[in-house]
Each structure stands twice: as structure tokens, then as C-alpha cells.
Structure 1
Amino acid sequence: MVSSEDLGRRAAALDGSVVVCGVDGDAAVPAGAFPGARVATVPELLSGRDADPGNDDADPGDDDAGDVAGVAAALVAVDPPLEGDRVLDALDGLDDLDAFVVAVAPAGVDPESLAAVRRRADATLLAGDGGPAEAIRTFLEAVQRPGFVNLDLADARTALSTGVAAVGTGTVARRGDADEAPALAVDAAFGRLPEGVDPAGASAALVDVVVDPETSIAAATDAIAAVRERIGADANVIWGGAVDESAEGEIGVRVVVADVEYAPPLAAGDPCPRCGAPLSAYAFGTRETLSCDGCGYSGIAIDRG
């Protein structure tokens, strides 16, 4: 069995080789928020400068800190508007970077902009309610945490290169019938996928299962089985698992499903699916209904909470 020290060394080997990028100083990637990763804007990365002097791995005085050749992956948080020069030119600038470039976009981005981003990155990841920063942290935790089965960047490249991907996390208490906990955690993770994502036909998935010391490792295989029931029958599922002593009485699942169908919910002002005219919103209590004044298309409900 691999020793815990060896597992720790494997995880630590990623330190400094992963860079979390904002396009030009976006608040979506606050310095210091991503342990084991450097933080920089795209121009800083390409020029060899660093935006996080407080990170020992990213000390501007360290000759290796700005070594572009040492970058294994660049996770780029992209915020709307995605059209125009700002975001797309930044991604174009990373084209010659010999690294795995993942563009992380917020939920609700329109499919045309998402397609333009995808053409300029090795992989595209849709974030959930927590936005790109939370999605990036979830991704990094999955590929950095040492465990009894490890995920790494090569696994991520294999899965995410198949198509647009989305990330979701779920944690449940292991109370009552403990056998139900893995499936419930998977349900919670899929429930936190970005709105508009349909994972049913996903052709690949990364799954990271975290259990407490009292939970059987078999819970991980139960969680994987529950994931397989929700995606394509022939999907490539790559999984990892870890024991976390701080996760008392809980089981957690991080899932990244790739090659998903994506149709973001419509909003007022969006083009009508039938005629292209801007949709209008009409309120009815706690709900809104979208309709088109031009062609009469209607009945699109929006939950306003």
C-alpha cells in the first residue's frame, strides 16, 4: 500500500505548477484563495510576473515563480460579457502555453459565448451557484487531495476534453441507514449542477468521494454506481477517494460531468425561441412568466423564490 507520506508528496508536487487566472485582475480569483496554486492575471502569467506575493510558491523573488515552462495547468475564470476582445483575446494569448488550459465560466452564460470560449481552451467548465472561484477550488481539491485512490491532472484532461463540463458537490450526514448515504450525496451533487445542464448523456465524469474514518471504503464504490446511473451508459468514469478525519459522520461527493447538454434558462430580454424578438416578463405572485409580444410565444415560468 502507498504510504501517507508518499501520497502527500504526490499532492505537493502540484504546488506552483497550477495557475489560477483572472483575465485582467478579476475579483473572481482572489489571491490566496487556492492553496497549492499560484494566482495571476493572464498577462502576468505570460510575462512571468505573479499576483500573489504572499504565496511562497509564487514569490516574485523566486526565479522559478514566473517560469511559464513549469506551468502544468492554467484555470482561467471568465466572466460575462464574453464577447469582444477582453476574454477571447486573453484565451488566444494562452494558445502557445504548453499547459492544460481550462476556461471556467459562470452559470447562465449563453451557449454561443460558451462555444467561442471552448474553441480557445483545452476544456471548458461551467460553475454552479458559487461561481468560478468555488468551481476552481472544487476542481483543485479533487486533483490535489491524497487518498486511497488519487485523481490527477491527466485524469482531468482525459475527462474534460470530451466536451463542455459542469461541476457539482454534495455532502450528507451518515445517519440512519448508512447504506443510503452515498446515493444521497450523489443526488445532492447532481442537484447542484448549474441550471440548464443535462448530465444524462455525459460521456465522461470525474468523481471524488470523501468519507470519514468510520465509513467503509465500499461507500465510494456505491457512490460511483449512483453516478453511473445518471449519465451515459458507456461513459468513462474516473474516480478517486480519500478519508478525511474532519468529516465526522459525513460523506461528500464532488462530480465533474463532461460532454453535457447545456441550455441555460431564458430571461427577460433574451431572444424568443420562435421569432427572435426580446422576451417580456410578467409577474404572477412569486413567479414570472416570459412571453413574446411579437408572436405570442408564452408559458416560460421563472421561479423568483
Structure 2
Amino acid sequence: MSHRDDLREAADALGGSIVVCGLGAYADRLARAEFRDARYASAAELLAETPPAGERSAVPAAADASPPAAVVVALDPDDLGEDDGASESLRALGGLDAFAVAVVPAAAADGDALSAVRDSVDAVLLAEGDAVEAAIRAFLATVQEPGFVNLDLTDAETVLSAGVAALGTGTADRDAPGDAVASAFDGLPEGVDATDASAVLVDVVVDPETSIAAATDVIAAVRERIGADANVIWGGAVDEAAAAELAVRLVVAGVRHAPPLAAGDPCPRCGAPLSAYEFGARETLSCDACGYSGIAVRRG
């Protein structure tokens, strides 16, 4: 068996130990999805088969299920305030003897809602727009696909422990690693400022013809965009199906997040409802009560 076959076998074995769950609207959406490197279970199913932390020996797991090493939970933070059951399920999932990561749409992750999620799980990962399922797939690929330098759940825990994280992906010509990095940073959710990020997980995927040295160019380009003291953990893989393309996946942690406002949201200055105005192709928000204007608009 080749070294790469050994890596694939190890990754496949780990795949069964990561479970994806969905709460609220994501319970129905993800129940119909298939994940190559993880299995899906409803919150009720997972909680029934897995004992809470510290009670594994007292409560036997289901015969056909192994205790998970990680649980990835998709949810909209707004659901927590409207559904007590979702809040209870999130707290219970966070209490399992597993690394619990909540993946949430960044646009819905305002201060209070995000705090409620962070209090229940080990880590929070922001997804662009409503692309929560795509973010989960990218995260799973980052920590599980074998390569010439492997990333794993331990690396993810190290980075995500630095604070709220965001995921971005980007691609470019194989001879332009800096462009791929720029594309990945541009792919971070709107409202995320990664300038002062304290930790970054970087996964580089190249085609068979691209020099592995391109990975070092990617890391150098990433470091130019973050603080000098940020902890950078990276991995790399060769994709036989890639054609003259280089891909970069980023998990940037310890970021600042200020989601853009929408019409009807309270004015940051006086608290009155904001109004939307169009100027040609441009739309902005302003407050009729205090005159505060030029506010970025949150897109639906």
C-alpha cells in the first residue's frame, strides 16, 4: 500500500467520527445532503446514541455508531430566540464529549445572537451569505483530505480556539498563488475584518504539474494580510483532477465581525429604524431621525 493510500485510509476512518447536524431550517436542508467525509444525524439521533461528556462509560453508545470526535452543527442564530428546542439542542450538542463547531450564516450573526451560540459550543465558523452547506463541505475537506502536508481536527481546534472564525475559498491560475490568496480573502463573509486575525488554517490544493513550492508562496501571501504574530497552520494536497489551477481554503480565526445593517434595523447612533435609499445603481441606509447616513446595506 502506498503512502497516499495510507493517508486516504486514515482520512476515511476519521470520516465516520465527524457528524453533521442541522437545527431549525437546516435540519431539513441537510437531512437530504450527503457528506463524503462525515455522516449526517439529527440532533435527537446523535444525542440518543452519544453520552454527554464524562458519562461515556455509564451510557453505552448505539451498537452501530462510534462516539464522534467532532460535531458540526449548522444553524441560524435567529432561530435560537424563536425556538427554545433549538437552544436546548445546541447546548446539549455542545455538552457532548466531542469538538463542537457551529457553522452559521454571517449575515445573521449579530452580537447578541453570536454570543448565545458561542456560549453553547467550542467554536463558531461564519459562512458567506447562506452558503452554510458549502462552508461545511470546505471545512471537512480541509481537515480530512490527505495530502503532502496534512491538516486534521487537532489543527482545527488549535485555530478555532482563537475566537470567532470565518471561512473563505479562492482559486487562480497555478502560476498566480497570490491571486488565489486574494480570492480566498475576498471570499470571506461580508463584514469580516481579518486584519488582526490571531490564527489561520490554510489548505492549498494544486494540480499534478504545479510545484509544491507554490504552497510556500501561498503562505507568504497569507502572512502579508494578517498580523505578524498570528499563528498560521497550513497543509497541502495534489488534486489529480485539477487543471492548471491552484485553490486555497482559509479558516481565519479571532476576526472582527460587524454584519452590514438592513432597512428597519436600529440606527447605530440613535436607535431609530433605518431607511433605505437608492441612488442610481447604489443603495445606502440612513437615519431620518438623526441624519446618520452612508451605512452599508445588508443584502438578502
- TM-score clears 0.5: yes
Letter in 1 for 2:38: A
Alpha-carbon spacing, 1:304–1:197, altered in 2? closer, same or farther (3 Å): closer
- Deviation, 1:301, is 4.4
Consecutive unaligned residues of structure 1, counting only runs of 5 or more, are: 50-61
User: Equivalent of 2:68, from 71, 80, 90?
Assistant: 71
Residues 164, 255 of structure 2: 8 Å contact kept: yes
1:135-179, CA deviations, whole angstroms, 9 ceiling, x for partnerless residues?
1000000111100000000000000011000000001123xxx2x
The answer (yes or no) to whether the contact 1:103–1:125 under 8 Å persists in 2 is yes
CA distance in 2, matches of 1:64, 1:272: 53
AA in 2 matched with 1:168:
G
* One-letter identity of the residue aligned with 2:76: D
Q: Which moved more, 1:18-27 or 1:160-169?
A: 18-27
CA contact (8 A) 1:199 1:257 kept: yes
- Under a length normalisation based on structure 1, what TM-score does the superposition of the two structures give? 0.88
- Match of residue 55 from structure 2: none
Counterparts of 1:192 and 1:165 in 2: how far apart (Å)?
A: 13
Equivalence map 1:59-208=2 (5 Å): 63-65=63-65, 67=66, 70-84=67-81, 85-109=84-108, 110-129=110-129, 131-174=131-174, 178=175, 181-208=176-203
Stretches of structure 2 lacking an aligned partner (at least 5 in a row): 51-61
For 1:244 and 1:130, how far apart are their aligned partners in 2?
27
Identity of aligned residues (%): 63
Separation of aligned partners in 2, 1:30 and 1:83: 19
Cα 1:82–1:32, aligned 2, differ >3 Å: closer, same or farther?
A: closer
Deviations 1:253-287 (A, max 9, x none): 00000000000011101110101111111222222
Three-state SS of the structure 2 residue aligned to 1:4 is helix
State the partner residue of 2:59: none
Mapped to 2, the partners of 1:205 and 1:30 lie a distance apart of: 30
CA change 1:32–1:264 in 2 (3 A) is: closer
Shift of 1:235: 0.7
Change (3 A) 1:251 1:163: same
* Aligned 1:3-18 pairs, distance under 5 A: 3-18=3-18
Task: Tell me the SS of whatever aligns to 1:108.
Answer: helix
Of 236, 241, 256, the match for 1:241? 236
Shift of 1:28: 3.9
Which residue identity does 2:72 align to in structure 1? L
Q: Deviations over 1:228-263 (max 9, x none)?
A: 111121111111000111011000000000000000
Of residues 232, 254, 260 in structure 2, which corresponds to 1:259?
Answer: 254
Quick check: 1:23–1:86 contact (8 Å CA) kept in 2? no
Residue 228 of structure 1, aligned match among 185, 199, 223: 223
Instruction: Check conservation: 1:282, 1:290, Cα contact below 8 A.
Output: yes
Counterpart contact for 1:143–1:153, Cα < 8 Å: yes
Q: Which amino acid aligns with 1:35?
A: R
Say what the alpha-carbon RMSD is for the aligned residues. Answer: 1.9
**Stretches of 4+ moved more than 4 A in 1?**
none
TM-score normalized by the length of structure 2: 0.89
The aligned residue for residue 54 of structure 2 is: none
The one-letter code matched in structure 1 to 2:147 is: G
CA contact (8 A) 1:281 1:289 kept: yes
The answer (yes or no) to whether the contact 1:287–1:302 under 8 Å persists in 2 is no
User: What amino acid sits opposite 2:165 in the alignment?
Assistant: A
Kindly tell me the number of residue pairs found equivalent between the two proteins.
Answer: 284
Counterparts of 1:303 and 1:96 in 2: how far apart (Å)? Answer: 33
For residues 219 and 76 of structure 2, what CA distance do their matches in structure 1 show? 32
- Whether 1:217 and 2:212 are equivalent positions in the alignment is yes
Contact 1:267 1:290 in 2 (8 A): yes
> Which residue of 1 is the match for residue 57 of structure 2?
none
- Which residue pairs with 1:289 in the alignment? 284
CA contact (8 A) 1:287 1:303 kept: no
User: How far has the Cα of 1:129 moved from its partner?
Assistant: 3.4
CA distance in 1, matches of 2:120, 2:271: 28
Counterpart contact for 2:260–2:298, Cα < 8 Å: no
Counterpart CA distance in 2 for 1:28 and 1:73 is 20
